[in-house]
Structure 1
Amino acid sequence: MKQLIAIFLTFILLATSSFGSGRSFSSIPLPQSIFLDTNGMPCNSKCLKDFIEQGFYFSFISRYSKELADEDTLQELYTNLSVTFDLDAQGNKPAIKLAVLFPQKRIRGYAISTVNTIIAYLLHRDHHFDIEIFNIEDEDEVSIKTAIDNIDTKGYHYVVAPLTLEGATHLANYSGKLRLFIPTVHKSLIQNAPESVLFGGINYEQQIEALMSEANGKVALFSDGSLLANSLDSFVRNKAGTIIYNQELGDSKINFKSMLNKNTRLDNSSVFLNTPLVKSSLLASQLRVYDIKPYVLLSTQINYHPMLLTLTQYEDREKLLIANAIDFVPSNLRIINSLLGHSLEYDWVNYATSIGIDHFYVNYFNTGATPLFKEYIIDGQVAYKTKLFRANRYQLLPAR
């Protein structure tokens, strides 16, 4: 802890000496390293791993190909070496100017974590940046248009906007020449979105479809009446056809006894938990209390969180399958985010935000830089790969 404080104080002193005395950074661009492949022969993943085992890091860098990005270990090593040897150095490229637009009262904690996620990414890239926050009171059409006009007037061209569906709908209509990324909404929910607006929302319909492949023909569902839950319920009904039991868990005190006692309809059923983490955990435990033995418990991204391991006993979650879209996160980026008080590997909004800023970085801010994430943006939407996970005794692990 003392070492951490010492480092932090050193950072403050350095910052004071740099800015307090009116000095400015040198205009001389940072040096950039280039590694040439003088062999010319193709090198597959085995070849690259041989270089690593022998300590031939320069050979590894020169022979690495982006076509091998699916190899998580190789990709992470290459990105770490890229930073170490300044392969993606800022050079003479200008500082990044980025606007962040959000309604803090509507999205609450995500307002701060989104900004921190962007800062963590740019710190990892070691690129100078200028970020300005535009906080709006509401997401009505007038507020969105006013904010966009203000952003445009101040000379910003790139915007990250974690909005709800209401705000995203208006934003798509007033995007103008700005390039925007909305991490919180899926493109399918917005009609006629322009090409300049990109989306990072989770494809819940895809997740329900993946979960349905593990269900039997006897489907039940629980929800909480929220907008998201109603959407998930609709996806389940469309895929399942017949629902043998449907129950809404409202905000008032839940009477599990009247709901579950001798409820034989739920035995050997595929139960969808379209409820947030705490309610899902309570329901999973109460099913066991009332000796109900479901065929399987199924849930989407909303319950992919390590707190599930604390809120439930292993026997409660033994049959639970969770759909997850979060994939590979570089270790250095994970550490920086952790120091800023949040995670990427269990928070899909932060994860989506990182993908969005990664897309801006490699396509506009520092073209030719190596992407840090494996997801592509296809037709204006982040294309996630859904995987099913189980919560074992100590951690969340892939089901297969």
Structure 2
Amino acid sequence: MKSWLMIKLYIFTLLLPAMMFAQSSLISNIPIPKTYIQNLDPYPCDENCMQLYLDNGMIFSFLAHAEGKLENEQHDEVRKMSISILNLGSYIIGDKIRIALLLPYKIIGRYASSTTNASFAYLIAKNHSFELKSYKIESEDIDDIKKALEVISNDGFNYVIAPFTQKGADAVSLINPEINIFFPTINKKDVTSTSSYLYYGGIDYRAQSDMLLKEAVSPLVIFYDDTTIGNKLSLYEEMAYLTSSDPQEKKSVVKFAIPKRTTNLEKQLKDNKSIVEGSFFINTPIVKTGMIMSQLTLYETNATKVLSTQINYDPLILSITQYEDRKNMIIANSITQNNSILIETNSLLGNDIVYDWINYTTTVGVDYFYSHATRADREYEIKLQDNQMIYPIELLNPSRYRFVKYFSRFKE
């Protein structure tokens, strides 16, 4: 709708104070003033009338007649988004939900801010009274975490979002606190906790790798960087490939560790007969992946398939690579459910939950805690199994202009 751009400008102006609060360690507990719209029109307004208001940018006239759920889905979406973001008075009642954010800000960098924004965007979209407070810790040492959890508990919070690394999640498992904690960055396969209070929302890279390896042919050539996830994935993919399917099938694996500053792969790729017409599994960040893919073409490796997990589900891949380089690429993706209102609300805060999987899983975690606390239906129909979110996996091909569904040769 052409008037939606104008609505976004109104919303952005109204959100400026909230955006400033979101960068601090404590979201102000002073409630944002509610807006109430009085309908002074003595005549009824049908669907065409409502559309006319929207076409002319008369959002408040539209909302004055939108007192309840609308039959037109597009109109109802505008209504719901306006109620949540403009903070319109509604009939939602109940105790406010209180969520704490435990942030090792020196370790997770920009995610200290973006996970806060993702949590904030979800809660304001629900139009329910809430308190969101962040607790910053210097490190993920067990003493720092234990002290912070004691403060959080004493402050009366029962729900915590903790974007930790493996070290921090292991430390929390040892502490074994009796407080609900969601780790959007950790998959339960990587920890040994049996606590019913600890929940895990990390992407399952192993399950994604298993699905991708079904598309591979020998030789399997694995590129990885010297990071925890890069090393883990390269080892897992090597063993999974060599031990899968027909034991009579001849298989070989070639692995290349790519140092951070490396930009030329001539030594690894040029005239290397051991990798020609193989499948290439790339476990590197997006920019390095683009560099690798361009040189696979340059040195005529004739790759049958280029495979990658969630790491490279990023629209940047469409602009930093030529179509010729990526036409045989398959990417596994677990961001398969989303909500247009939450996407827009995050976008207004400069946040991405469409491609950024940590922001996405943070949103899923807040949604789970919100449902747990309020008994409301969840926005995300993602199964929780043994305290781990089980995300569906789809295979995608980065085509000329967008990601399109890849249809596997194998039936699941």
Distance in 1 separating the partners of 2:286 and 2:111:
17
- 1:67-93 Cα deviation digits (max 9, x unpaired): xxxxxxx9x99988878899xx77331
Distance in 2 separating the partners of 1:85 and 1:340:
17
What runs of 5+ residues in structure 2 fail to find an aligned partner? 19-29, 35-67, 85-89, 243-250, 408-412
- Once the two structures are overlaid, the 10-residue window that deviates more, 184-193 or 302-311, is 184-193
Change (3 A) 1:177 1:284: same
- 1:332-378 Cα deviation digits (max 9, x unpaired): 111011111121110111111111111111121x21x2221121211
In the alignment, what sits opposite 2:237? Answer: 236
Distance in 2 separating the partners of 1:12 and 1:58:
28
2:363 aligned to which of 333, 354, 373: 354
Change (3 A) 1:202 1:78: farther
- 1:275-311 Cα deviation digits (max 9, x unpaired): 1111111010011111220110000000000011111
Change (3 A) 1:77 1:348: farther
1:331-370 aligned at under 5 Å gives the runs 331-364=340-373, 366-367=374-375, 369-370=376-377
1:1-400 aligned at under 5 Å gives the runs 91-241=92-242, 242-364=251-373, 366-367=374-375, 369-400=376-407
- 1:91-140 Cα deviation digits (max 9, x unpaired): 33111111100111100011100010011101111112111111101001
- 1:123-159 Cα deviation digits (max 9, x unpaired): 1111121111111010011111111111111111110
Change (3 A) 1:176 1:244: closer
Distance in 1 separating the partners of 2:393 and 2:32:
47
Distance in 2 separating the partners of 1:194 and 1:167:
15
Q: Please say if residues 221 and 243 of structure 1, whose CA atoms lie closer than 8 Å, have aligned partners that are also in contact.
A: no
> Offset of 1:161 from its aligned partner?
0.4
In the alignment, what sits opposite 1:44? Answer: none
Q: Please say if residues 105 and 137 of structure 1, whose CA atoms lie closer than 8 Å, have aligned partners that are also in contact.
A: yes
What runs of 5+ residues in structure 1 fail to find an aligned partner? 15-21, 27-56, 62-73
> Offset of 1:201 from its aligned partner?
0.7
Amino acid at match of 1:390: N
Change (3 A) 1:237 1:9: closer
In the alignment, what sits opposite 2:56? Answer: none
Matched position secondary structure for 1:137: coil
> Offset of 1:8 from its aligned partner?
5.2
Change (3 A) 1:12 1:192: closer
Distance in 2 separating the partners of 1:77 and 1:216:
50
Distance in 1 separating the partners of 2:269 and 2:81:
56
Distance in 2 separating the partners of 1:266 and 1:11:
53
> Offset of 1:385 from its aligned partner?
1.0
- 1:160-189 Cα deviation digits (max 9, x unpaired): 000001011111232422111000000111
> Offset of 1:240 from its aligned partner?
1.3
- Once the two structures are overlaid, the 10-residue window that deviates more, 212-221 or 95-104, is 212-221
Give the fraction of aligned pairs with identical amino acids, expressed as a percent: 31
RMSD: 3.0
> Offset of 1:226 from its aligned partner?
1.0
Change (3 A) 1:78 1:185: farther
Scaled by the length of structure 2, what TM-score is found? 0.77
Distance in 2 separating the partners of 1:347 and 1:11:
22
Corresponding pairs, count: 347
Q: Please say if residues 323 and 387 of structure 1, whose CA atoms lie closer than 8 Å, have aligned partners that are also in contact.
A: yes
- 1:2-21 Cα deviation digits (max 9, x unpaired): 9866655566799xxxxxxx
Q: Please say if residues 281 and 311 of structure 1, whose CA atoms lie closer than 8 Å, have aligned partners that are also in contact.
A: yes
- Once the two structures are overlaid, the 10-residue window that deviates more, 317-326 or 247-256, is 247-256
Amino acid at match of 2:127: D
Distance in 2 separating the partners of 1:10 and 1:59:
25
Scaled by the length of structure 1, what TM-score is found? 0.79
